[in-house]
Amino acid sequence: MDQINTNEPNIFVIFGATGDLTYRKLIPAIYNLYIQNLLPEKFNFICVGRREFSQNDYRNNAKKALKEFSKSTFKEEEFEKFSEIFKYLRLDFVKDEKYQSLKDLIKSMCEKYSHDENILYYMAVSPEYFSVIVDKLKSNNLADNTKGIKRVIIEKPFGENLESARELNKKMTETFTENEIYRIDHYLGKEMSQNIMAIRFANPILEHVWNNRYIDNIQITSNESLGVLTRGKYYEKSGALKDMFQNHMLQLLTLIAMEPPVSLSTEDVRDEKVKVLKAMPIVDEKFVRENIVRGQYIEDKKGTLKAYRSEEDVSCDSMVETFVAIKCFINNYRWTGVPFYVRTGKRLNKKITEVVIEFKNAPFVLYNEDNKLQPNLLVIRIHPDERIFLNLSVKKPGNENEIIPIQMDFCQNCHSLVSTEAYEKLMYDAIRGESTLFTRWDETEFSWKYVEKIFEIWDNNKDIPLYNYHSLSEGPYEMNKLLHKENMKWWDI
C-alpha cells in the first residue's frame, strides 16, 4: 500500500466536536478542503465530544451544518464520500482511562492506511479544558512526536490574563514544542488581513509613502451590531479589551505597522510583528486617562434592545466595557508621531472591520482655497465585503472648477472571485505546517502585558469613567475626544 506524505498529519482530532464552532466553522472548512482535493491522501478525522451520539446521528448533524454554513453548494454524493473519512467518538475529557478508546481508534486508522501517527489536534473546547486535555494526551502517549508528527491548534482566549497565559504556555510546552503549537486568530485567516502585507510590500508606490512623513493617522475599526446574546457569563470575565483588542486588533495593528521582513518565512514575519509590540510605549495612568475611552451599551433609543446590564448572566451593576477606543503610538523611526486609533465594540450601528490610512495633505494644495478637500484615504475593508479603495479628488465634469472625491475600488468578493473562508485557510496552513498566520508565544505575551496594565489602572482608579452609549449608535460620543487635532474625525466610508 502506498505511503502518504509523512510531512503532513493524516489524522485530525477535534476536541469539542458537538460545539457551535465545530458545526459552523471547522466541519465546513474541512469539507471545502476535501472537495477541492487539498487534504493529504488518506486523510481521516475524529470528532471527539462528550454527548451521546451514534455515528449516524453525528453524520446527520454534520450534514445539517454543511447545508447551513458551508460556502460550497451542498451535494449529496460529495457528502457521502466525505462522511466516510470521519468518526464520532464520545469521550469524557477529564477521565484518563477514557483516552484508551481514542488511542485504539487512532491505531486502527494508522494500521489501515500504513502510516505513522501523524496527528493534528484541535482544541475547540472551553478554555478550562485546554490544560486538562494536553495533560491527558501526554500521559497517554498521544503527543509523542517520535512516533510521527504532532501538532495542536488552540483557540482563543489563550489565558485570562498574563499569569494564566504563562501557566497555560508552560503546560503546553511541557507536551508540545513551540513549533507544534498553533495559536489561532481567525482574523489573520481572512483574505484581506493576509492582503495587508501584499498591498504594502508588492506595491512600491505605497511602501515608499508608508511612514510618518506621508501618513497622518491610521484607524482600525472592528464593530459588531449584535450584543453579547448568551455569552454574558464569558463576557463578564472578558470585556471588549480582552475579547477583541488583546488579540484581533493588535494583530491587525502589527500587520499594518511592521517593517518589511527579510523574507516571507514564518519566523521573519513574526519577528517583525513582535518588534511593533515592543515599540509601543509603556502604559501608565496618564496614558490611560488621555488615550483610552471605554463604554457600555444601554437600550436603543426605541427601547426595544436590552442594555448590557440586562443581558443574561450579566451583573446588574457590571462595569465591564463593551466598547473600547485606544489611541496607540509606535515609537520607532517609521511611525513616531503617527497616532493609531483602534476601536471595537458591540451593539453598534453596523458590523464592519476595516483599516483606514489617512495621508497628509501637502503644505500647499491648489483647489483647496476653502479647505474643503478630503484627504487621500486608503481603505482596506476586511468585513463584511472584502475590498480595497483609494479616495482621490478630481474635477467635477462641467464648467466650474469644483473638486469632488471619487473612489478607486476593488472588491474581492463582490463578483466572480472566490474568497477562502478564514478557518479553511488556517486549517490548510496547519495541515501543511505553515504557521505564519498563527500567533507565536512572545506575541501573545507582549499583547497580554499591554492589556493587563490597562486593567490594573482601571481597577486602581475608580474615577476613570465608563461611558454609556445607545445600542445601534456609533458608540460613546467621548471617543471623538481622542481625535484632538483640528478637522480630524473617525472615518465612516
Q: What is the CATH number of domain 11-155?
A: 3.40.50.720
- Residue pair 293/479 in contact by the 8 Å Cβ criterion: yes
Model confidence at 76, pLDDT cuts 50, 70, 90, reads: very high
SS (HEC) of 209-224: CCCCCCEEEEEEEEEC
Q: Which residue has the cell 499583547?
A: 447
pTM recorded for the entire structure: 0.91
247-276 pLDDT, tens digit each: 999 999 999 999 999 999 999 999 999 999
So what's the pLDDT on residue 12? 95
Q: Output 42 or 22, whichever has higher pLDDT.
A: 22
Please tell me the distance from the alpha carbon of residue 395 to that of residue 386, in angstroms, as a whole number: 28
The full 3-state SS of 355-417, as one line of letters, equals EEEEECCCCCCCCCCCCCCCCCEEEEEEECCCEEEEEEEEECCCCCCCEEEEEEEEECCCCCC
488 versus 25: the higher-pLDDT residue is: 25
- The model's confidence at residue 88, banded by pLDDT at 50, 70 and 90, is very high
Q: What is the CA radius of gyration of the chain?
A: 24
State how beta strands 323-328 and 340-345 pair: antiparallel
Report helix, strand or coil for 490: coil
pLDDT at 56 over 80: yes
d(CA 450, CA 250): 10
Three-class secondary structure of residue 49 per DSSP: strand
- What the block records as the C-alpha cell of 221 is 475599526
Distance (Å, rounded) from C-alpha 246 to C-alpha 366? Answer: 43
Give dist(CA 275, CA 262) in Å, integer. 13
Cell 489611541 -> residue: 327
* Distances, alpha carbon 62 to alpha carbons 21, 47, 79, 86, 87, in Å: 12, 10, 9, 10, 11
Type of residue at 154: I
Query: To which H or E segment does residue 68 belong?
Result: helix 55-69
Count of H-run helices and E-run strands, the chain:
15, 15
Number of neighbouring beta carbons within 10 Å of residue 182: 23
- Residue 372 pLDDT greater than 80, yes or no: no
Query: Which region among 3-17, 328-342, 477-491 has the lowest average model confidence (pLDDT)?
Result: 3-17
Residues recognised as catalytic: 248
Q: Give the residue-averaged pLDDT of 337-353.
A: 96
Residue boundaries of the structural domains of the chain: 11-155, 188-417+441-482
Task: Give the confidence band of 110 by pLDDT, cuts at 50, 70, 90.
Answer: confident
Order across the sheet with 352-359: list the strands: 403-411, 387-395, 377-383, 352-359, 215-223, 340-345, 323-328, 292-298, 467-470
**Which residues have a Cβ under 8 Å from the Cβ of 285 and sit 6 or more positions away?**
457, 461
CATH hierarchy code of domain 188-417+441-482: 3.30.360.10
* Higher pLDDT, residue 406 or 175: 175
Cβ contact 387:410 at 8 Å: yes
Reading the block at residue 21, the C-alpha cell is 464552532
Alpha-carbon distance of 12 to 9, in angstroms, equals 7
Q: What does the alpha-carbon distance between residue 195 and residue 187 come to, in Å, rounded to a whole number?
A: 12
Q: What mean pLDDT do residues 91-100 have?
A: 88
Four-residue CA torsion sign, 203, 208, 212, 215 = negative
Where residue 290 falls among pLDDT bands split at 50, 70, 90? very high
Contacts of 69 (CB under 8 A, 6+ apart): 23, 24, 25, 28
Q: Quick one: average pLDDT of 132-148?
A: 92
Question: What per-residue confidence (pLDDT) applies to 5?
Answer: 45
Percentage of the chain lying above the pLDDT 70 cut:
95
**CA dist 20 → 16, 17, 61 (Å):** 9, 8, 11
Q: Please tell me the distance from the alpha carbon of residue 422 to that of residue 20, in angstroms, as a whole number.
A: 16
Asked if omega into 157 is within 30° of 0 (cis), the reply is: yes
What percentage of the chain reaches a pLDDT higher than 90? 74
Ranked by mean pLDDT, the top range of 1-15, 135-149, 451-465 is 451-465
